[in-house]
Each structure stands twice: as structure tokens, then as C-alpha cells.
Amino acid sequence: MRHDKVVIMWLIGVIIGWAIGCSDAGAQPHQPMLNHERMTELFIQLVQIDSGAENEAAICQFVAEKLRQLGADSVHIDDASKQLGGTGGNVFARFKGTVSAPPLLLNAHLDTVSSTKGIQIVRTKEEIKTDGRTILGADDKAGVAIILEVLQTLKERNLPHPPLEVVFSIREEKGLLGAKAFDARLLKARYGLVVDGREVPDEVFVQSPTHWKFEVVFHGRAAHAGAEPEKGRNAIQMAAKAIAQMEWGRLDEETTANIGTIEGGQAMNIVPDRVKLIGEFRSFDPKRVESLANRWREICERVAQAHEGKVEVTFSKTFDAVRVSPDAPIVKAAVAALKELGIDAKLTRTGGGSDANAFSTHGIQCLVFPTGADAIHTPQERLLLPHFYTCGEAVLRTVMMWTHSEKVNSAGARPLLGRTDADAPGGDTDRAVHPPGPSPAH
């Protein structure tokens, strides 16, 4: 009898141990498919190639050669720099698919917001940053590294994937200029991943705002500031009064406004006869931007007239708003890929623009995917390596998931906060919005 009890207790122990083991195994993260160290070393190579001063030629040649080594059917560097100035061009490559599936676009940009010349890399187990004298350039060389590593892994492991179209653009930080100059007629893909998001792997961007740039030039009259200031008309004073009558910063949860630069004046003893303001309006509601632009122009004209001056006000639309439905196939593929990694995807929006805005004007719906980059556009910028690796794994699985529609259609996601295509049929990108033209001088 005692022997039977011992056997029973032993069996219970075995069962409990097996259950705990299964539970622990289920809690383990998905086995990585990418070569994380190789991807990290590639990223470090990329950030050491300066591309922050309209000088992308070297990095274009670097990634074009990588694409050739990875077996691209074709690799082409366009002549966008002839139109935009500077050097380099958009790099475009095609890869044959291993399965019958619609083609998929993969995109990241090669330029950085400022120069990384003289960059000094500081690497720890958890992050990569600089010594603080330059930016890192993870925006968006982390995205470039992810795409190249995904392509290499697909090839090495002979993994199933759709036909792929890769566009590494230039001059994104100057207002998406490279993507705008790219001949989108070359693309067959109707969906894509723009790997140019932020640091958190579970946040994917499905919405971005309309963006308008403005330039305002006030003209006054120069005079000696001490001997006869009465004869002058102070252009800086006009600009200051106009700025004071307008709200700036975050105007509401959908809209921002900013004065970015002010240029004017010649010397402290001269009444300034000219000042130039450059700024922007952004909103997820295109009509709101149009309203702000009209109001700003009216204020500037009124102030100039009151001070017997003149003003020129010009607006240019940098990009249209983008809204990708949570039901779009590319969103479902990404959500399903993240779910495989044990991540509950959060569909959200960004106040910034990306090449996704440019591609959307050609009917290509792109999801903006995170990279693990943090504090971008600052000397404190860093690449969070665990997030970088997770983002790369998710991009790889999204590409593979594109070939499995049954898995894609069954995936769910946390809903986007705010309006979506369900609230506004067709989305804002279907609505033509024309910025006000130049204001006549007064």
C-alpha cells in the first residue's frame, strides 16, 4: 500500500513538472530567425556613411551592391539628384517571389536629418548611441538594416515570400523629396511596409497628417535706428505682431502649428526692412489646415497694412494625410506577424510624415513599421537593440505572412484611437485639397 502511494506521488510530481515545463516553454519568446549580430554590424556600417547633407551617393552605392549580392533580379539608382540637387538617387530593386502572391513594397530612407560626419559609436548590450556630438542616424538606417537582413534571411533559409519591390529613398528628411521624385509607375505593388517608425515594436502607424509649409516675407523700410527711426518701417516688429495674434504649438489633438525659422535684419542700428518666417501646419483634418492657412494669411496682410508695409505669403503642401484601414491586408499581415511573436499590435497614428505619404498618392497603401529608434533627430538618439531585433523579426514574418491569407484574415488588433476609414469612407487621401496661392503684396 505504501509502495502504491509512493508511485502515485511520483506520478503526480511528473505531471506537475511536465505542466510547468509546458507553461514555461509557452512563455518563451519566439525563436529568432534573423541573424541579430549581423544586422547590428550592418547598422553600424550604415551609420558610419555620412548621408545628412544631400550627399547620399556613397550610401546609395553601398546598398545597391548589397542588393545585388542578395540576388536581386534588377537594381537601379535613379537620377533624382538631377532634379533635387546634391548627389545620389533612389535605389530600386526587384526580387522574384517563391510563391504566387501579390507583390509587396519594402521601403526605408537613406538620408539622415543632419550630418553624422565624425560619428563615434557607443555600444552596450541594450543600445547603440553616439558620444553626443552627432545624431546616430537610426532614423532611418535602422530601417535599411532591417530590410537588408530580412532579404538575406529569406535567401539563406529559402523561406517563402511574395515578389518584393525595394525602394531606398533619398532626401526624405527634406520633405519626402526622393519618394516624390521616384517614378512610381515602376511599382506593381499596391501594399507595402515603410520601415521608418519609432522605438516601440507593438505600435504601427496607420495614420499621418496633412502637412503644409509656409513662407512669409514682411517688407518694411530701412532707416537709421537712432537718428531717424520714424522714417523706418520695422519688418521684424510686423512679424512679431503677426506671430502674437496666432496660436502655435498643439492646437488640438489633431492639429499643430509651428514657426521654425526667422531671418531678418542687418545691424542693430538699422531699422530692419525685411524679415522671413518659415513654418508649418499639420492636421489629420485637411480642412483644418486650410482654415489655419487662410487665417494666418489674413493676419499677416492686416498687420503689414497697419504698419504701411508689404507682405508675401506662400503655402506649399508637403504631403497629404494617410489613413490605412485596420481591415487592409497589409495591416492584417503585420498584426498576425506580431501575434506570432506574442505581441498585441496597437494601431496608432503619427504626427510626422514618411514615404508612405508619397506612395499613397499613387494608390499604394503602406503601413509604417517601427525600428527601435528612440529620441530621433537629437544627439541623444539611440537604437534600442531588443526592440530593433523584435521589429526585424516582425518585418520578416509580415513578409512571410503575406503568403498566408487565412492567417491574416483571422488576426485581430487593438483599434486605432480616433477616426478611421470606417468613419470617413475613402479616407482623406481621396479628398483633393488645394493650398492657398501666393498672397498679393500690400
Catalytic positions, written as ranges = 111, 172
d(CA 235, CA 220): 5
Task: Give the phi and the psi of residue 27 in degrees, each rounded to 5.
Answer: -80, -15
* CA distances, 399 to each of 22, 266, 325, 373 (Å): 29, 57, 19, 21
Angle between helices 57-69 and 138-157 (to 10 degrees): 10
Structure-derived torsion over alpha carbons of residues 367, 205, 197, 178, reported in degrees to the nearest 10 = 50
d(CA 417, CA 375): 23
Residue 365 three-state SS: strand
Burial class (CB in 10 A: 0-12, 13-18, 19+), 27: exposed
- Residue 334 CB neighbour total at 10 angstroms: 27
* CA distances, 41 to each of 36, 108, 141, 198, 385 (Å): 9, 18, 12, 20, 12
